[in-house]
Amino acid sequence: MKFTDSHCHLDDNCFSQQLPDLLSQCDLHNISRIIIPSISPDNFQKVLSLTKQHHQNPIDLYCTLGIHPWFIKHLSISDLEKLSLLIIQEKQHIVGIGEIGLDGATSKHAAQFGQTPEENFKQQQLFFDYQLNLAQRNAMPVIIHHRQSHHHIVPFLKHYQLAKSGIIHGFTGSYQQAKDYIDLGFKLGVGSSISFSRAKKTINTFKRLPIEYLVLETDAPSMPLSHEIESNSTKLYQNNSSKSPANSPLNIPVIFQLLVNITGVDPLVLANQLERNVDDIFLT
Ligand SMILES: [Zn+2]
């Protein structure tokens, strides 16, 4: 069995010291591929250089370039134009555009950075639209961040009908919301949310969906697993007697096991299908 972490912020400083060790541990636990989404112009070069350094060394790292809705407040159209150029220059080193998206909760707190909620959401939509357009022009898939925003995101995706579609990262929501995305060719990222017994709606959604539409992700170092579940990353870092990040790609097998329990599908069949789903989006 091989696994892919389809969404991990491996460029985060909390991983830098332990990176060689962490990647060897991933190799040992059959996590053979990690996709690193960028979040703002500040980390474009870092995710690119990580990806270039690690080609089957010891595992494969891939990256996507994009601007996350949380990090747009000091940016302007010229940053999007720079992104557009970088995507053309680095095309052979990136597998998609992301992470991009719309966040309804962030815009509610926009006053902190001197915007009204409406101004902020308008700017989010402009950045999202521009980057979906980039994906269309470059025939690339997208990685989409959502929070309180399914009803805003779906009309954009219907408008663009991206040939390569993409991933709805850290999906939480109802079966109908999931269906809206998969009808547009998207896959859904299954992450730590399923480790929380209170996430009944999302767990029921994954139970009902065909496994052809799912991919695994950790979103590490964010989105730690529920305390009810034992985390692999904590175990590793305890062994090394250094401070552990809240989440790491080593938790992929834990999330996988939870998904086996939810779907009732044979582990080998499920693992193979999840890998094929990643290939379908990023590597074909
Ligand atoms: Zn993320």
CA of 100 relative to ligand 1 center, distance in Å: 9
State the average pLDDT for the chain: 93
Q: Which two tokens stand for residue 257?
A: 């096991």
CA of 146 relative to ligand 1 center, distance in Å: 10
CA of 207 relative to ligand 1 center, distance in Å: 24
Q: Is 169 annotated as a binding residue?
A: yes
Dist CA 19 CA 51 (whole Å): 13
CA of 81 relative to ligand 1 center, distance in Å: 22
Q: Is 219 annotated as a binding residue?
A: yes
- At 15 the pLDDT is 93
Q: Which two tokens stand for residue 112?
A: 């902190």
CA of 8 relative to ligand 1 center, distance in Å: 7
CA of 7 relative to ligand 1 center, distance in Å: 6
Q: Is 152 annotated as a binding residue?
A: no
**3-class DSSP state of 199:** coil
CA of 139 relative to ligand 1 center, distance in Å: 22
User: Tens digit of pLDDT for each residue in 10-26?
Assistant: 999 999 988 999 999 99
Q: Is 151 annotated as a binding residue?
A: no
Q: Do residues 12 and 247 lie in contact, with contact meaning Cβ atoms separated by under 8 Å?
A: no
- At 239 the pLDDT is 54
- CA-only gyration radius of the chain, Å: 18
User: Tens digit of pLDDT for each residue in 121-154?
Assistant: 999 999 999 999 999 999 999 999 999 999 999 9
CA of 245 relative to ligand 1 center, distance in Å: 15
Q: Report whether pLDDT(237) > 60.
A: no
User: Tens digit of pLDDT for each residue in 191-222?
Assistant: 999 999 899 999 999 999 999 999 999 999 99
Residue 128 CB partners (closer than 8 Å, separation 6+): 69, 100, 101, 102, 153, 156
Q: Is 68 annotated as a binding residue?
A: no
Q: Which two tokens stand for residue 4?
A: 């892919």
CA of 22 relative to ligand 1 center, distance in Å: 19
User: Tens digit of pLDDT for each residue in 50-68?
Assistant: 999 987 788 999 999 999 9
**Domains of the chain from N-terminus onward:** 3-282 (3.20.20.140)
